[in-house]
Amino acid sequence: MAGLFDKQADLYLEGRPNYPKEWFSWLADRTSQHSLAWDVGTGNGQAAISVAEHYNQVIATDVSEPQLNLAIQHPQVKYIHTPPFLSNNELISLIGPESSVDLITVAQAVHWFDLPNFYSMVSQLLRKPGGVIAVWCYNDIVVSPTFDPIMNQFHKSTLPYWDPKIQYVFDGYKTLPFPFEEIGLGREGHPMELEIPKMVSFKGFMEMLKSWSAVTTAKEKGVDLLNENVVTELMNAWGGSELVKHVSYKAFMIAGKVRI
């Protein structure tokens, strides 16, 4: 996935929803200590800054320098660029000693990873006992009975341009391998279903769509999925370009600890 979100880093920052604060409280309540957390695939740091409300230090890593250049600064968050050529040992050395990390979070990203390799590092780094890994994502966006069918048509037009790994997201992480012991926040094959409420302007919603990797991939192939006609149809179904609406992002989480 290296470079996949570089070109639309600014759109990603503006268009994506913020994760509810209570999610991070749930996770903090399930870790025995609150010294060190690792936010993987941090992007612009949306999750990292909320994790920092509960942990003394957060190491936030990403393969995308453009994303990190736009990251939200926080005194307890240390952003580190981790290019794909880093070895496991090199990456682990940037995070901390074995069994030193209290919480590992992956927001909207784990489906892009080499999962066996990543889970091996997780098992090394997580505190045992007492450490937790949590992964989450969102897929469907519910706006209104008028808008949702038009949005579904647009989504279908993007399907040929997604990386195959995105199927984990389309499946709501029900097919995502997750070899960790459950802690009451979803488990392998049975993610915890959640919602992210947000007040969104039409402009903000469009920025989110423009940040989709499939939209960027299609444009690179000469296909403008968000052409003028499509945008007009979406805007009319929304109710006008100036209207701010309450939307619900359908999310799902799986969390666990290393089996001992």
Tell me, what's the pLDDT at 15?
53
Helix ranges, the chain (H): 9-15, 21-29, 46-51, 65-69, 88-95, 115-125, 147-158, 167-170, 202-210, 213-220, 228-238
Cα gap 183→247, rounded to integer Å: 29
Contact 218, 139 (CB under 8 A): no
What is the CA 109 to chain-centroid distance, rounded? 5
Segment 41-69, tens digit of pLDDT:
999 899 999 999 999 999 999 999 988 99
DSSP 139: E
Per-residue tokens: 186: 């979803």
Query: Quick one: average pLDDT of 188-208?
Result: 93
| Cis amide leading into 129 (omega within 30) | yes
DSSP string, 85-126: T--HHHHHHHH-STT-BSEEEEES-GGGS-HHHHHHHHHHHB
Q: The tokens of 46 are what?
A: 């949306």
Residue spans of the domains in the chain: they are 9-138+163-196+249-257
Q: How far apart are CA 19 and CA 85, in angstroms?
A: 30
- Name the 3-class secondary structure at 15: helix
The whole-number pLDDT of residue 123 equals 97
With beta carbons less than 8 A apart as the criterion, state whether 247 and 198 touch: yes
Instruction: Write out the H or E segment, with its range, that includes residue 170.
Output: helix 167-170
Q: What is the pTM of this model?
A: 0.90
The fold of 9-138+163-196+249-257 is Rossmann fold (3.40.50)
Structure confidence by residue, pLDDT tens digits, 88-119: 999 999 999 999 999 999 999 999 999 999 99
Is a pLDDT exceeding 60 seen at residue 72? yes
**Helix (H) or strand (E) run with residue 169 in it:** helix 167-170
In which band, very low, low, confident or very high, does the pLDDT at 206 lie, cut at 50, 70 and 90? Answer: very high
pLDDT at 11 over 60: no
The pLDDT of residue 13 is above 70: no
On the question of pLDDT at 133 being above 80, the answer is yes
pLDDT of residue 16: 66
